[in-house]
Structure formats: C-alpha cells, structure tokens
Amino acid sequence: MGPTGGNGGRGGNIWLRASGKLSSLTHLKDTYIAQDGKNGGTDHRYGRNGKDVEIEVPVGSLVKNSQGSVLIDLINSGDGFLIVSGGAGGYGNKEFANVDNPTPRTALPGEQGEIVNAEIELRSIADFGLVGLPNAGKSSLTMTITNTDLEVSDIPGTTLIPHLGHITYRDKVSCSIADLPGIEPDQPRAPRFLQHCARCVSLIYLIDGDDFHEQHVVEQFYIIRQHLADYDATINAEVRELELAKSKFYDRYDQDFETNDERYSSLADKPFIVCISKADQPGREYRAKMLNDELANFPDSSLYFPKAIETSAKDLTGWSALQFLLRKIFHFFLIKQ
C-alpha cells in the first residue's frame, strides 16, 4: 500500500475589524503573520486550517495599499475586511489516485500565503473637532463637557493623539468630540492630524483666553483658519501630483485639473463655532469683546453662531450653553443629511 496523505490545511487569513471601543492606532504592530495550515495526515486525514488573525482597529480607519489607493474605509463598528488571504492547503496523495495508480506518491505542497503591505490612517468619526493652539485648554474643555478622563498639563503639546469624548443628552442622543493636538502657530505645513476634522459635522475653534497669552485672541482665530485652509492646499498638491502621474495624457507643461471635486472642499469651509477658554481669568470681558467684534464682521457663512462662547474648565462657565449649542448644530446637520 502506498502513501495515504490527506490534503493540507489552508493558511490563516488576516482580518481587520472596526471596533467602537478603540480611538487610536497605537496598539498596532508593524507586522502580523497568520498561522500556517497543518500538514495532511496519514489515512487521508485533512490538515487543520491555520488560525485567522483578527486585528481590531478604530471605527474610521482608512486602509490603503502601498501605492496609497484606498482599499476600504471601515466606518461602522463590526465592519470587517479580509486584508490577507491564507494560502490554499496542499494536495495529499489521495488527490492523485486513479484506477491506473491507486496509491500515487505524488503530492503538491500548499500555496504561499499573501504578503500585503498596507497603511492604516485614522479619520475619526467625530461629530465635532476641537481645534486650537497648544495649551488652549482643549483637553480640559473636552473633559468638562464629556466627562472623559484626559491628560491635561501646562506643557504645550500634551495631547499627541486625538481622543474622543461623548456627550449623552437626557433623551439618549449622543454626539462625539475629537480632542486634537494643538496647532503650532509657526509650523510651515498644516499638521497631518487635521485629517480628523475631515469627517466632522462641525468644528469648534478654541481660542486660548489666558491673560498672558503670546497671541492675541483675534490672531489665534486667524492662525486656526490659516492652518485649516493650508491643510487642504497640502492635500490638494499631493492629490494633484498623483493624478498627474496617473494621467494617460500627462502633459508636464500645461495640466489644469478641475478643483470643484468633493476632495478639494476646504476644512476652512466646515461649519464652526468659536469658544474662548479660561473665562475664570481676569480681562475676560475685554478679550470676548475683541473677538466678538471680529466675528460680527466675519464674512463667511460657515460661522454658525456669531459670538464666541466663553468657557472655563475651572468654574464651568459656558458649560451648558456649549452643550446646548452643540446639540442644536448636531440636530440641524442630522436633519439636513
């Protein structure tokens, strides 16, 4: 009697699964390897399939291949994506048996599994994005209105990765706020983390109301505007480069692309409201007046509410007004969608 090897097991797959419990990508490893399939056994026994690997990623993870093309956008909790298929198992001798040769010695080894290089980018699905200069009090404000525990300190640059907080209203409606890192005023390029604003319904510009702040409240407002606008310019330039490279009719001297595509719509065009922090500090009325005078003349209709909301994480000034306004905005855009 000849060999009686059964078929080998398939190699494990690798899945990505969106989880509403995660809010960052810091837990991810550089490399994941799924288990090999087991060899087939004697007496025609099949080998066991390799175990699948499931990698949890936050909701809002955008998965790209090494060329930068989007493979999938995981926007609902529980969404799964098979990113790497395990190789098929090998064929044992019994597969090659026939009338002429009932006990063949031939067998085929299993297939090599896929190797996939992918990049995962997180674009938070937050309803509101909180933007402002370092130390403006973004994390403190998020903690106050969402009851979330976040790291706060007087060292600028405390928040390095975005965090989500949730406000749950009495009628169980819930909306989320992304507490983002601070925008450095002198940074030449718009910071990458502004990508988290792309999906927000609306933005909250938080102006630092510290009595001794280096930048005037109005100046801070325009620094935020400038960075939001610059972010789009950076992305536009990158997208244009890609499109130019891809274009069959590539003309390096005279290429004019349409810019009214959705991708080109600016973060500076997102509806926004303005808050001033640290309203417990002296000079509060003066700062609010300076900013409100500017906002009263601000020509852009993306400003949702024409006055700055004064807030304090210390004495809770503005806490309920802000919650109320966010609820209004949330409702307004939800109905519009």
Ligand X SMILES: Nc1nc2c(ncn2[C@@H]2O[C@H](COP(=O)(O)OP(=O)(O)OP(=O)(O)O)[C@@H](O)[C@H]2O)c(=O)[nH]1
Q: Is 165 in the site for ligand X (CB under 6 A)?
A: no
Please give the angle made by the CA atoms of 21, 25 and 31, to the nearest 5 degrees: 120
What whole-number distance in Å separates Cα of residue 145 and Cα of residue 116? 42
Phi then psi for 330, rounded to 5 degrees? -55, -45
Binding pattern for the stretch 109-148 against ligand X, x by CB under 6 A and - elsewhere: -----------------------x-xxxxxxx--------
Choose the contact partner of 191 out of ligand X, Mg ion, none; CB within 5 to 8 A by kind. none
Choose the contact partner of 312 out of ligand X, Mg ion, none; CB within 5 to 8 A by kind. ligand X
Phi then psi for 168, rounded to 5 degrees? -115, 120
E strand or H helix at 72, and its extent?
A: strand 70-74
How many C-beta neighbours within 10 Å does residue 108 have? Answer: 15
Q: Enumerate the β-bridge partners of residue 176.
A: 166
Binding span for Mg ion by CB under 5 A among 74-82, 157-165, 263-271, 281-289? 157-165
* Closest listed residue to residue 174, CA positions, set 145, 198, 149: 145
Phi then psi for 41, rounded to 5 degrees? -110, 175
Binding span for ligand X by CB under 6 A among 65-73, 236-244, 252-260, 307-315? 307-315
Q: Is 313 in the site for ligand X (CB under 6 A)?
A: yes
Assess contact for 70 and 62: CB atoms under 8 A.
yes
Q: Which residue from 144, 159, 176, 220 is in contact with Mg ion, where contact means CB under 5 A?
A: 159
Choose the contact partner of 156 out of Mg ion, ligand X, none; CB within 5 to 8 A by kind. ligand X
Least distance between ligand X and beta carbon 57 (Å)? 24
The CA–CA distances, whole Å, from 97 to 48, 100, 111 equal: 22, 8, 21
Binding pattern for the stretch 248-287 against ligand X, x by CB under 6 A and - elsewhere: -----------------------------xx-xx------
Q: Is 309 in the site for ligand X (CB under 6 A)?
A: no
E strand or H helix at 325, and its extent?
A: helix 319-336
Tokens matching residue 127: 């309803």
Burial class (CB in 10 A: 0-12, 13-18, 19+), 234: middle
Q: Enumerate the β-bridge partners of residue 15.
A: 54, 82
Please give the angle made by the CA atoms of 322, 326 and 327, to the nearest 5 degrees: 115
Choose the contact partner of 40 out of ligand X, Mg ion, none; CB within 5 to 8 A by kind. none
Least distance between Mg ion and beta carbon 138 (Å)? 5
Binding pattern for the stretch 116-155 against Mg ion, x by CB under 5 A and - elsewhere: ----------------------xx----------------
What whole-number distance in Å separates Cα of residue 14 and Cα of residue 286? 58
Q: Is 182 in the site for ligand X (CB under 6 A)?
A: yes
Collapsing DSSP states into helix, strand and coil, what is residue 42? coil
Choose the contact partner of 144 out of Mg ion, ligand X, none; CB within 5 to 8 A by kind. none
Choose the contact partner of 20 out of Mg ion, ligand X, none; CB within 5 to 8 A by kind. none
Which residue's CB is nearer to ligand X, number 152 or number 218?
152
Choose the contact partner of 314 out of ligand X, Mg ion, none; CB within 5 to 8 A by kind. ligand X
Choose the contact partner of 154 out of ligand X, Mg ion, none; CB within 5 to 8 A by kind. ligand X
The whole-angstrom distance between residue 199's C-alpha and the CA centroid of its chain comes to 9
Judged by the rule CB under 6 A, the positions of this chain that interact with ligand X are 132, 134-140, 152-154, 156-159, 181-182, 277-278, 280-281, 312-314
Judged by the rule CB under 5 A, the positions of this chain that interact with Mg ion are 138-139, 158-159
